[in-house]
Chains A and B, each alone.
Chain A
Amino acid sequence: MSNHDITQKSETDTHPEKGEAALKELAEHVLDTAKRLGADSGETAISRSQGFSTTVRMGEVETVEHNRDKSLVVTVYFGKRTGAASTSDFTLAAVEDTVRAACTIAKYTAVDEYSGLADPDRLATTIRDLDLDHPWDITVQQAMEIAQQCEDVALRFDSRISNSEGATVSTHRGTEVYANTHGFVGATSGTRHSLSCSVIGEHEGSMQRDYWYSTNRDYRELESAEAVGQTAAQRTVQRLGARKIKTTQCPVMFEAPVAASLLAHFTRAINGSALYKKASFLLDQLGNPIFSDDVYIGEKPHLPKAVGSANYDSEGVATEDRDIVNGGVLSSYVLDSYSARKLGMETTGNAGGTRNLYIKPGQHDLTALLKEMDTGLLVIELIGSGVNNVTGDYSRGAVGYWIQNGEIKHPVEEVTVAGNLKDMFKRIVAVGSDVDTRGNIRSGSILLEQVTIAGE
């Protein structure tokens, strides 16, 4: 083990600028090759990452996985024809072959007047320090000990905790370079660390599993091993004895970690590529009320240390803070240069998606919101992807708790929640202050006034 740890450390200690410089040089080479092969313009994204993860299960180390990945994607334009290719082999011969493959494809694709790089005047010129790079100087052995401690807390939490899927610690660091033939070249290095735990409880012959995780770009801001283990166990125990409920229509609360999925369905529907293909239930809705009056949704791409933070999008366009829904009214779509041109609009700097999208939190925490709901279903997990982006029809499997008089009555499983997202967005009556900041979409718990639950 000692040999290996030294390897990990010495690589982690490599100065990021040095790695960035090498990838920038490779990016220039890729673009030069594209031009040499006759391309009028081109762009490339090159990434490199490494790290490891270790899982401890029932007190014993189960796996140690060492990751080391790299990828190079090149897109070339011959006039208005496009071709793309990628490789994980960075040798000069392989890079040449890859650029050539992209050029070959561009011979056969159709002329598309909207294709091409982002407009040069939209490319990012200000590069802020977003504080994304916090390498964790940790050995595999130390990571195992943290995972062990985390799982141990979970296993001891309650006598009904009977089994485990283990606790995992992982740490990764990566560098990404994007360059195009407008002369833009940008590099970003960042880290991502996480600690997760999943345990199983047993009661009267039936089992339940739940989990908890903490993830952060800065390892010092991860929740403690004890906290993660305890929350995982608590959530599992609370699910024991779950049962079906009768088919009904009632208020439904989406707990913060699953509430973000409602916003993901929304951003998918206002994404430029869904709009120009007319594959969205929110066509031509700009300026119209989509949500209930109090809802504000925006994007903050420059939050320090946040998962989604970036100075520019995946085609080099500067990102900025912006409103998407104000007073329930849709004020902007989510566009890249291509879809913007198709729609006769300007890019919103969203190539590659939204970054730190959030719904403005309300004043009350989950407990207070449950009181406000009084009776209904609190959803803590959703399964199955039963969402139709063309019609907005929504039907997903749910696990949660039946709430009566604002308090948890019993756990619920094997039911579905269903409706149409257009109606569901308008039925949002409250957003909690309990914002989950772990993902690229930030939301508190969301209360909907009425949804159909199918059960017995």
Chain B
Amino acid sequence: MSQILELAQTKILEPAGLAQADLDKLFSQLVGPGVDYADIYFQYSRQEGWSLEEGKVKSGSHSIEQGVGIRAISGEKTGFAYSDELQFPALSQAANAARAITAQGESKSVAITTRSSDDKLPRLYATIDPLSTLADEDKVRLLERVEQEARRLDPRVSEVMVNLAAVHDVVMVARHDGKLAADIRPLVRLNVSVIASEGDRREQGSFGGGGRYGLDYFSDDLVNEYAREAVRQALLNLEAVDAPAGSMTVVLGPGWPGILLHEAIGHGLEGDFNRKGTSAFSGRIGEKVATEQCTVVDDGTIPNRRGSLSVDDEGTPTEYTVLIENGILKEYMQDTHNARLMGTKPTGNGRRESFAHLPMPRMTNTYMLPGEYDPQEIIKSVDKGVYAVNFSGGQVDITSGKFVFSASEAYLIENGAVTKPVRGAMLIGNGPDVLTRVSMVGNDMQLDTGVGTCGKEGQLVPVGVGQPTMRIDGLTVGGVQV
């Protein structure tokens, strides 16, 4: 048995007095005629947060959540129940409730001779508890240092807020087919927000990062860079002029602007929407949906990235999935349920916010591979347009394909040169069509710094994005200047 599985059992099963035989009993209740798939997902999660404002770490919080989610699937039907009590009677009750969806039929005992787990699975992050990788007084000092650095940089910095979060997540999933998988997932994040004031004007800037590391990831150099970036953005916004309104050429910078791909392309390629035929991309595998320069992947296998997982929440190892290759739509992202119904294989994208939520196809790290252009050459090619390098978030309507993403740092491009900064504006476009307008892809592919959280049907999961500099011929910029 793998070390991670042993650790997970010690953390979750043993304190509740549960043994392998209890899992067998639960599967006997869950599995019967008509049940195609069943799983039991155990989770123990500990989180800590510290926040600084007005120069003081005024508050900290700590939370522990544990529980089990039990699911039985019959055809397209899913029965689901969860419990935050791990004792056998609570589990048994949850199993009965989940099983009820398959209606009639006696449950019968299933003989699972051996539960197997894959010991050879590559592990993408250390099995650490990040909460204990730094002493509490040092966490406080870290936040204070970041604050001091931000204030030191410019006297116009009037407010500084710093947040530090650490999560220790232990999960174990047992499936009706005997598969057993466990994962220990550290996750840390540090964020700096500043407000800069000059005269009557106040503007904000924020920056941060993190990943599947211990808190020692936040070296002095790194957090000083976060502070510098946040301050730079706030000061820049003090100079910003109104954004233009209307359709124009837009150049997106590398890295975090990849949320374009997440919203415009990614969600529409999730298996559930495509099985149901509700996505603007439904039934379009093999079609040209982008210019030839565009190759987009979802890659859950990058070590230590915020969106990475050694195994997904159904025990499937994550993959490097090519979604669009040289402009052609290749594959959807799948969990086991939607893959089975679509007659394809799961791609390691079955994710859930917690034991209390049903898994769904979700993205991991979604990015575009580098192209051939020098980023400077791309800027030079534009007579009049907008250069957007930082964003605060986005959203998409899967069915109509319309998506938005909100620029927090952007500039005008005039006669091939980046000129004035413009105030924040929404960019809006049509998912299936936006990549067909990509005329230049840069050679400067970057991943984001580790701050993304994606929401779908009310469930939040950490994700990553990335891209090289990219020129889009015609995207609507939602400014006020007509």
Contacts and interface: CB of A to CB of B under 8 A. Distances in A.
A88 B46 CA distance: 11
Given A108-B136, A110-B58, A395-B479, A89 B66 contact: yes
Nearest to A115: B58
A391 interface: yes
Contacts of B83: 68
B82 A67 contact: yes
A279 B62 contact: no
B101 A64 contact: yes
Nearest to B200: A283
Interface in A76-107: 82-89, 94, 97-98, 101-102, 104-105, 107
A248 B424 CA distance: 19
Interface residues of A, number: 79
A6 B419 CA distance: 69
A69 B84 contact: yes
B254 interface: no
Contacts of A404: none
A4 interface: yes
Contacts of B56: 109-112
B19 to A, nearest CB: 20
Given A60-B77, A85-B61, A386-B424, A414 B82 contact: no
Interface stretch (B181-189, B361-369, B396-404, B463-471): B396-404
B161 A84 contact: no
B3 interface: no
Contact of A200 (B97, B395, B399, B477): B399
Given A84-B62, A87-B65, A279-B195, A66 B94 contact: yes
* Interface residues of A, dominant DSSP: strand
Interface residues of B, number: 81
Interface string B44-60: 00000000011011111
Interface stretch (A16-24, A147-155, A203-211, A433-441): A203-211
B425 A455 contact: no
Contact of B400 (A98, A209, A277): A209
B397 A383 contact: yes
Interface string B113-134: 0000000000000000000000
A396 B61 CA distance: 33
A278 B404 contact: no
B476 A384 contact: no
A61 B101 CA distance: 8
B480 A452 contact: yes
Contacts of A102: 62
Nearest to A210: B399
Contact of B482 (A1, A64, A247): A247
B131 to A, nearest CB: 10
A104 B135 CA distance: 12
Interface string B444-482: 000000000000000000000000000000001111111
Contact of B395 (A1, A62, A384, A456): A384
Interface string A189-227: 000000000001000001111000000000000000000
Interface string B226-259: 0000000000000000010111000000000000
A131 interface: no
* Interface residues of B, dominant DSSP: strand
B392 to A, nearest CB: 8
Contacts, number: 254
Contact of A248 (B64, B358, B482): B482
Interface string A388-419: 10110101110100000000000001111111
B9 to A, nearest CB: 18
A415 B428 contact: yes
B400 A388 contact: no
Contacts of B97: 4, 7, 64, 66
A98 B137 CA distance: 19
A397 B405 CA distance: 9
A249 interface: yes
A436 to B, nearest CB: 21
A102 B96 CA distance: 37
A163 B136 contact: no
Given A88-B84, A108-B60, A112-B56, A452 B77 contact: no
Contact of B402 (A84, A109, A397): A397
Nearest to B394: A384
Residue among B101, B204, B394 with the highest chain A CB neighbour number at 10 A = B101
A454 interface: yes
Contacts of A98: 62, 64
A209 B60 contact: no
Given A61-B77, A65-B80, A66-B81, A393 B423 contact: yes
Given A68-B83, A109-B60, A455 B476 contact: yes
B202 interface: yes
A57 interface: yes
A347 to B, nearest CB: 18
A285 interface: no
A99 to B, nearest CB: 11
Contacts of A3: 96, 100
A272 to B, nearest CB: 13
A305 to B, nearest CB: 24
A63 B399 contact: no
Given A108-B140, A206-B400, A277-B159, A88 B59 contact: no
A140 interface: yes
A386 B64 contact: no
B109 to A, nearest CB: 18
B103 interface: yes
Interface string A1-38: 10110010000000000000000000000000000000
Contact of A456 (B96, B98, B246, B396): B246
B67 interface: yes
Contacts of B60: 83-84, 105, 108-109
B163 interface: no
Contacts of B286: none
Nearest to B65: A88
Nearest to A166: B276
Given A111-B56, A397-B428, 9 more contacts: A57-B76, A66-B80, A86-B64, A278-B202, A395-B406, A395-B480, A415-B476, A452-B481, A454-B428
> Which 5 residue pairs are nearest across A and B when measured between Cβ atoms?
A416-B478, A384-B404, A397-B404, A454-B245, A110-B56
12 contacts: A64-B100, A66-B94, A66-B97, A68-B83, A84-B60, A165-B278, A249-B482, A279-B195, A386-B404, A395-B243, A399-B402, A414-B429
Interface of A: 1, 3-4, 7, 57, 60-70, 82-89, 94, 97-98, 101-102, 104-105, 107-112, 115, 140, 163, 165, 200, 206-209, 242, 244, 247-249, 277-279, 383-386, 388, 390-391, 393, 395-397, 399, 413-420, 452-456
